[in-house]
């Protein structure tokens, strides 16, 4: 059965297309597959990692990048009403597809009523928002090396990492979903004041895996170039 084209949109200057096949969905950007509903085990693993990282009994969590909605669904399932979820998605088309076509399939009867949705660039939203966060979850594009627009690159560069760190409460953390491992990102995150650990999530297709990063905010601002915190920069 061939994929059936359902709708078109844009992300920045690139075309964005939604397809369906036998009840499954896929998004392509500029003709390349960006995401599909066929496998979302890594999104569920991301929510599990978040549950281990969060210390607040009622955390405020930002999910940056809605995609098909599976990261949001995993966080709703894991945290329920015990968190305040903010979802920031840059593409109005992705938000529209979620509300009209994907919501029921992804949530499987769950309620996303308490979630606040924002159509915005994540760094712009962070600059305008006035309340600190316990956790920032980056599920934007394909990871630190963007596919759907060069504008996404700055989120994973020094500028974005510093902006996220400034919004985190002491003891807060940044979680990152990526389709690949990026040693360059790891180095940048350590230089920006995070303690970095990673996990590999194998996929159903042999030899393929997604990568999850947990970047914990380190107390203090002075971090050596090596990325190793000094004695006065104990992790909070």
- Profile the chain (236 residues) by mean pLDDT over runs of 10 residues: 93 90 94 88 92 92 95 93 93 95 90 92 95 95 75 89 95 92 94 94 76 89 38 35
The structural domain count of the chain equals: 1
- 9 belongs to a structural domain: no
In a domain, 25, yes or no: no
Output the pLDDT for position 111.
Answer: 86
**pLDDT, position 220:** 63
The backbone torsions φ and ψ at residue 222, rounded to the nearest 5 degrees and listed phi first, read: -85, 110
Please report whether residue 70 resides in a domain: yes
Can you tell me the distance from the alpha carbon of 227 to that of 98, in angstroms, rounded to the nearest whole number? 39
> Quick one: pLDDT at residue 149?
65
pLDDT of residue 228: 34
pLDDT computed for residue 223 by the predictor: 41
Please give the pLDDT value at position 39. 81
Instruction: Please report whether residue 7 resides in a domain.
Output: no
Instruction: Strands of the chain (E only): list them.
Output: 4-11, 14-21, 24-29, 32-36, 60-64, 84-89, 116-119, 133-138, 168-178, 194-202, 209-217
DSSP 8-class letter at 100: I
> Residue 116 domain-assigned?
yes
What's 83's domain CATH number? 3.40.50.150
The answer to whether position 138 is within a domain reads yes
Q: What is the rounded CA–CA span in Å between residue 157 and residue 208?
A: 26
Q: What is the secondary structure of 199-220 as a DSSP string?
A: EEEE-SSTT-EEEEEEEEEBSS
Please indicate, yes or no, if residue 24 is contained in any of the structural domains. no
pLDDT computed for residue 202 by the predictor: 84
Q: Is residue 26 part of a domain?
A: no
Boundaries of domain holding 196:
39-217
Give strand ranges (E) for 42-123: 60-64, 84-89, 116-119
pLDDT at position 92, please? Answer: 95
pTM: 0.88
Q: How many residues does the chain have?
A: 236
Q: What is the predicted pLDDT for the residue at 95?
A: 96
């Amino acid at each position: 059965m061939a994929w059936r084209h359902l709708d078109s949109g844009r992300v920045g200057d690139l075309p964005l297309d939604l397809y369906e096949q036998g009840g499954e969905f896929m998004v392509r950007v500029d003709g390349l597959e960006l995401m599909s509903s066929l496998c979302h085990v890594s999104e569920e693993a991301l929510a599990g990692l978040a549950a281990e990282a969060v210390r607040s009994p009622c955390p405020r969590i930002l999910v940056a990048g809605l995609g098909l909605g599976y990261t949001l669904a995993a966080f709703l399932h894991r945290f329920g009403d015990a968190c305040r979820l903010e979802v920031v998605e840059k593409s109005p088309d992705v938000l529209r597809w979620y509300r009209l076509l994907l919501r029921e399939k992804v949530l499987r009867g769950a309620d996303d009523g308490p979630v606040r949705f924002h159509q915005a660039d994540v760094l712009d939203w962070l600059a305008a928002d006035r309340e600190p966060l316990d956790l920032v979850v980056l599920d934007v594009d394909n990871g630190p090396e963007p596919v759907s627009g060069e504008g996404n690159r700055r989120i994973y560069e020094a500028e974005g990492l510093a902006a996220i760190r400034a919004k985190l409460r002491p003891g807060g953390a940044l979680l990152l979903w990526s389709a690949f491992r990026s040693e360059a990102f790891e180095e940048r995150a350590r230089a920006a004041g995070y303690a970095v650990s990673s996990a590999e999530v194998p996929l159903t297709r042999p030899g393929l895996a997604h990568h999850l990063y947990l970047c914990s905010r380190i107390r203090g601002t002075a971090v050596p170039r090596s990325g190793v915190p000094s004695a006065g920069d104990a992790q909070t």
